[in-house]
Structure 1
Amino acid sequence: MKNSLLLLLLVWIIGGCTSANNEINLPYYTEANFTPQWLDQEKVEGIHRVADFTLTNQDGQQISNGDLKGKIYVTNFFFTICPTICPKMTNNLQRIQEAFPEDDDVLLVSHTVMPWVDSVAVLKEFAERNQINSNKWHLLTGDKDLIYSLGRTSYFADEGFGKSVTDESDFLHTENIVLVDADQHIRGVYNGTLPLEMTRLIEDIGRLKKELGS
């Protein structure tokens, strides 16, 4: 009898812990060291957000962060002639596009770090070659200083994987993929060269959608 009661108590404790873990929201990331913070909703106001920007996508359309407000989006930095990590990242991001093909609330945003090479026409050809859906995935080009500032001060690119930039003129090249919520807070960071990380990212997008009630 005692053993049965002990077993029931253990099942109840484990079940309770599992339910609690399932209800934990994704953390917020507010600093370049990517230290996760679990915040109550009333403490979210005023924390780090992606800065305002306006850039141009592969269709020649002006895209601003205002166009992304209310959307969950996945973002990274790349350039079309990159021979190393960028092709891996593009292939891995294809999984995100394929996982949410009809979901208008989930987008992908890739910023070129070589805007002097990656014109609208070049990005358009890259999109067609890589089967990128322009309604789902924006490839952005524009002012270099703006892109680099966004990368380093908004998305904390060049950080988080044992790499730090001391000279702001250094070339921006990062394997980070960042998850941004509907209020433009950073909610996840992933190594874009690893397929397993994309599995985690897809799961986290699902969790974020539940959190936002979408």
Structure 2
Amino acid sequence: MKIPSLLVLFTGSLFLFACNSAPKQLPILGSREPVEKIVNGKTVIDTVYQTIPAFSFMNQDSAIINNDSLKNSIYVADFFFTSCPSICPIMSKNLLTVYEKFKDNQEVRFLSHTIDPKHDTIPVLKKYADKLGVKGTQWSFLLGSKDSVYLLAKDGYMSYSKQNDSIPGGYEHSGYFLLVDKDKRIRGAYDGTDKNQVAQMSKDMDILLTEYHKK
């Protein structure tokens, strides 16, 4: 499984931080840009962080999921395809444990984006969700055009997806779960095939929720 260099850097920093002590606030990952603004008549430097771009996809129940659908919710995003013969089943199984922990918590959502829209039609995604035991809209298996999903993976989630007919399944993609806060900023990146990292993500989700509850 290929790991994007940015994710290696950010994940390494995240887990080093986690090992030292339980953080009260998670880091904000991705690119950032200093900007000037006026506060009380004075010029101050603020930071603008990378955020997830606007999107609109359809889920397994033919419901439209977009930025507005996720308002006031943190969420975990990943990329998969239902016929994947390698890491996807492991990732789905691991994410299912986190889904069960936060089941019915409306502040927590899960988004799994198919990278094979030709095969993964709405009925196929519905069957996949049913097989996992996923009901309702808390965990959405999303269908969009290949170009829009691949662009979102690259520009929004620092991830990658591409067709590769030389490997089993015909596609390759990042095996990471990305934790996104209510402000559409990436707050964590975790190897979805590693139970320990998935367990850490679950703990970090509690930390992130607490961060908002304190506001």
The one of 99, 110, 115 equivalent to 1:108 is 110
Residue ranges of structure 1 left out of the alignment (5+ in a row)? 1-19, 36-41, 159-164
Matched residue SS, 2:106:
coil
Q: Which residue of 2 aligns with 1:117?
A: 119
Q: Which residue of 2 aligns with 1:50?
A: 52
The amino acid that maps onto 1:134 is G
Q: Which residue of 1 aligns with 2:94?
A: 92
Structure 1 runs of 4+ aligned residues shifted over 4 Å read 20-23, 42-45, 168-172
Bigger radius of gyration: 1
**Cα deviation, residue 48, structure 1:** 0.7
TM-score (norm 2): 0.76
What is the alpha-carbon distance in structure 2 between the residues aligned to residue 122 and residue 103 of structure 1? 26
Matched, 1:211 2:211: yes
What is the alpha-carbon distance in structure 1 between the residues aligned to residue 143 and residue 92 of structure 2? 16
Q: Is the 8 A contact 2:24 2:211 kept in 1?
A: no
**Cα deviation, residue 24, structure 1:** 3.2
What is the alpha-carbon distance in structure 1 between the residues aligned to residue 158 and residue 88 of structure 2? 18
Q: Is the 8 A contact 1:113 1:172 kept in 2?
A: no
**Cα deviation, residue 197, structure 1:** 1.1
> How many pairs are equivalent?
178
**CA deviation vs aligned residue, 1:96-151 (integer Å, no higher than 9, x gap):** 11111121100110000001110101100111111112332000001111100110
Matched residue SS, 2:104:
coil
What is the alpha-carbon distance in structure 1 between the residues aligned to residue 113 and residue 99 of structure 2? 16
- After TM superposition, the structure 1 stretch with the greater mean CA deviation from structure 2, 123-132 or 73-82, is 123-132
**Cα deviation, residue 174, structure 1:** 1.1
What is the alpha-carbon distance in structure 2 between the residues aligned to residue 212 and residue 92 of structure 1? 25
Residue ranges of structure 2 left out of the alignment (5+ in a row)? 1-19, 33-43, 165-170
Matched, 1:191 2:191: yes
Q: Which residue of 2 aligns with 1:179?
A: 179
The amino acid that maps onto 1:150 is L
Matched residue SS, 1:211:
helix
The amino acid that maps onto 1:189 is A
The structure whose residues are more often strand, as a share, is: 2
